[in-house]
């Protein structure tokens, strides 16, 4: 499978005088699935390479480094320890373990790092520069990750289904068995490492009885085999575990974390895992959430629950990633005093400083659930004595399910750049979770629910690969721009002519805004089909138990979360954010209905009324999708036929679905408000 025109990027053509802009050599042997952004032809720049200072052990990263040199650069190895190779790779103690320094001099290149992992990342950076044709401008490059943990969470089930997955079946499991497709898992690990991912969880956080068995042979031996593949690429494997495992298995009559028998059960379970997998990363836990068991069942705190597991893991260097997605999922819609948005803060904030050093709390970026628009969770910055991970969602559960083009990096950048004011101005979210945040315990980073499945292109929608790529790049460096990353991905993936590259960039860069326009307005959230979370159903969750209400009536819409008349959620933020959200005059338009209940005639800062904004954005969003579908036709014959057809078919569905969103939402609010569209467009009454 070839990457159409990969060797023809704009900058490569412009840099033919650069010694490193040499043509590709032989094609890299390909499997039956997509290479995504990685090159499919070997570079012909180096005849030899040397690798010094590396510890070459079985399953070690140094073995992978040597393999990647051969795979990417077609170079033969010089004598071990010889610095004479045209490509020199050297581990030097004292340098950042995952960072690298890359220097290009004449026809030679040197990459140095504090560990073999950094050399691997440096190799991928070199391949990226060569493909982009940027070696002349960037002959000296020093880079290190800004986040310690850079993680993909799989919600794959042992049955082979992927929870909230839209890209085919699991690449790990099939029919309650491990698939054993190790070649594909190796290529997956390689793709992850090429964007800097260093941790992966391979099973759903809603852990079934069958998946509890992963902690023991024979299934543990399959987990070991997968872990050995990932660790070659500096990726530690994690398992999601059921908090009540000893009780669910019937081996104890309790899962109380303060019971000595429960503690001993977990101590023994963890020991068995590390006997097989000494480089095992640890556990991820969803507790007291959406029916999953947790410490609340025993009147224990989440700190007590997490710490019990953390103590079992600590002797082996393992960590507990404890999810903060805890809320009342049996809410009475009649009771407006209950606010799902408050839940994570109210549950965890009082226990700041009580969690052990090897516990990391993982909080979703917003207080609800991966909506196309919601505020940044007030939990970030509120727990300075606790390790934190910020959780994104690559899989498009609420953003089009890989049927719609929706480039999510602009959303993630808004989140990472959000100033919490936790320690004064400049306390942005990326610093709070990143390794520049001054955390006393020094552990944090970014995680995301992954989008990968068994489809040949990994992500179902070819263009959805951009979100996967962007997440990894932002994990490594949150200062990168969303547009910069998108340009980079397009060039690495397609190698289009300049005018076509610009056209694809323009088609994708505002697609998140387009999706927001034709779906849910002004931060109100949901309005989608219950359970499936795809397609419009304005009242689908309105009288349900999940706490995701818009409270639309004949006069107005929105959720009053103010401190004076509402749930008080605004008060969970630091100033000046608390007052900004609390005040109707200063609350940003795009979050107005998240924080306030207002009349349909309320005038936004944009000068439009709420109802006219709803009408205008839904008509405009649909028209933008029509334009996207028309614009895509220009790429026929310019990219691989299978990629063209893949996107074209999904754009047909996006047009259909956007029309339904437009008409159902506009009709709903016309019938509620009785206020006509000022522009006289067709609304079905």
Active site members:
290, 369, 397
Q: Tokens 């002959």, residue? A: 139
598-599 and 556-557: which strand pairing? antiparallel
Do 156 and 203 touch, CB atoms closer than 8 A?
A: yes
Q: How crowded is the C-beta side of 412, counted as CA atoms within 13 Å?
A: 30
Q: Which two tokens stand for residue 550?
A: 């818009």
CA distance 366 to 59: 38
Question: 649 Cβ partners below 8 Å, 6+ apart?
Answer: none
Ramachandran area for residue 502 (φ above 0: left; ψ -120 to 50: alpha; else beta): alpha
The neighbouring-strand residues paired with 444 are: 388
Cis-peptide, bond into residue 132, ω within 30° of zero: no
Question: 29 Cβ partners below 8 Å, 6+ apart?
Answer: none
Do 446 and 415 touch, CB atoms closer than 8 A?
A: no
By three-state DSSP, how is residue 98 classified? coil
Residues in the chain: 685
CA distance 253 to 348: 27
Closest listed residue to residue 412, CA positions, set 344, 471, 472, 486: 471
Q: How crowded is the C-beta side of 608, counted as CA atoms within 13 Å?
A: 15
CA distance 434 to 443: 8
- Other CB atoms within a 10 A radius of the CB of residue 532 amount to 11
76-77 and 173-174: which strand pairing? unpaired
Q: Which two tokens stand for residue 354?
A: 């009580």
100-105 and 140-143: which strand pairing? antiparallel
Closest listed residue to residue 441, CA positions, set 387, 496, 479: 387
């Amino acid at each position: 499978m070839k990457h159409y025109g990969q060797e023809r990027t704009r900058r490569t053509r412009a840099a033919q005088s650069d010694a490193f802009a040499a043509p590709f050599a032989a094609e890299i042997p390909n499997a039956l699935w997509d290479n995504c952004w990685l090159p499919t032809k070997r570079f012909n720049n180096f005849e030899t390479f040397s690798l010094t200072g590396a510890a070459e052990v079985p399953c070690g990263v140094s073995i992978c480094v040597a393999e990647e040199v051969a795979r990417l650069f077609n170079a033969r190895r010089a004598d071990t320890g010889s610095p004479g190779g045209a490509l020199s790779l050297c581990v030097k103690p004292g340098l950042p373990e995952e960072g690298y320094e890359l220097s290009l001099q004449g026809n030679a290149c040197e990459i140095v790092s504090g560990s073999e992992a950094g050399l691997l990342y440096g190799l991928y950076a070199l391949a990226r520069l060569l493909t982009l044709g940027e070696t002349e401008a960037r002959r000296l490059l020093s880079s290190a990750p800004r986040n310690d943990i850079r993680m993909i969470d799989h919600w794959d089930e042992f049955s082979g289904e992927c929870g909230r997955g839209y890209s085919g079946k699991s690449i790990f499991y099939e029919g309650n068995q491990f698939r054993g497709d190790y070649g594909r898992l190796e290529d997956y690990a390689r793709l992850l490492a090429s964007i800097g991912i260093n941790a992966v969880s391979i099973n759903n956080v809603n852990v079934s009885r069958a998946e509890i068995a992963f902690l023991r042979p024979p299934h543990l031996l399959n987990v070991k085999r997968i872990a050995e593949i990932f660790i070659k690429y500096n990726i530690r494997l994690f398992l999601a575990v059921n908090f009540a495992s000893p009780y669910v298995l019937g081996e104890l009559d309790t899962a109380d974390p303060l019971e000595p028998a429960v503690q001993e059960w977990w101590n023994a379970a963890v020991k068995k895992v590390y006997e097989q997998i000494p480089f095992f990363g640890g556990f991820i836990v969803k507790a007291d959430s959406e029916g999953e068991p947790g410490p609340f069942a025993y009147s224990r705190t989440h700190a007590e629950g997490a710490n019990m597991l953390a103590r079992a893991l600590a002797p082996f260097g393992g960590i507990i990633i404890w999810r903060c997605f805890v809320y009342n999922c049996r809410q009475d819609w009649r009771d407006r005093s209950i606010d799902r948005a408050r839940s994570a803060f109210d549950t965890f904030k009082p226990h700041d400083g009580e969690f052990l050093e090897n516990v990391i709390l993982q909080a979703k970026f917003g207080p609800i659930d991966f909506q196309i628009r919601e505020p940044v969770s007030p939990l970030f910055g509120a727990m300075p004595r606790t390790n934190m991970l910020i959780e994104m969602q690559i899989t498009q559960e609420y953003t089009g399910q890989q049927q719609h083009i929706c480039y999510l990096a602009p959303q993630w950048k808004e989140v990472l750049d959000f100033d919490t004011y936790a320690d004064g101005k400049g306390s942005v979210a990326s610093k709070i979770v990143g390794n520049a945040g001054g955390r006393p315990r020094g552990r944090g980073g970014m995680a995301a629910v992954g989008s990968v499945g068994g489809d040949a292109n990994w992500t179902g929608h070819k263009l959805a690969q951009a979100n996967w790529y962007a997440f990894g790049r932002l994990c490594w460096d949150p200062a990168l721009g969303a547009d910069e990353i998108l340009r980079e991905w397009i060039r690495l993936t397609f190698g289009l002519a300049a005018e076509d590259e610009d056209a694809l960039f323009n088609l994708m860069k505002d697609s998140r805004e387009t999706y927001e326009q034709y779906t849910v307005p002004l931060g109100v959230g949901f309005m989608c089909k219950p359970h499936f979370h795809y397609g419009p159903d304005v009242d689908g969750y309105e009288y349900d138990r999940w706490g995701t209400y818009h409270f639309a009536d004949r006069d107005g819409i929105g959720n009053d979360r103010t401190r004076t008349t509402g749930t008080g959620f605004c008060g969970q933020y630091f100033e000046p954010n608390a007052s900004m959200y609390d005040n109707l005059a200063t609350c940003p338009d795009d979050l107005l209905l998240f924080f306030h209940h207002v009349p349909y005639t309320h005038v936004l800062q944009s000068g439009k009324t709420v109802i006219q904004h709803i009408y205008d954005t839904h008509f405009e969003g649909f028209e933008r999708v029509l334009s996207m579908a028309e614009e895509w036709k220009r790429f026929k014959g310019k990219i691989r036929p299978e990629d063209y057809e893949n996107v074209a078919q999904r754009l047909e569905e996006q047009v259909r679905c956007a029309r339904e969103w437009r008409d159902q939402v506009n009709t709903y609010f016309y019938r509620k408000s009785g206020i006509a569209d000022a522009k006289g467009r067709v609304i079905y009454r």
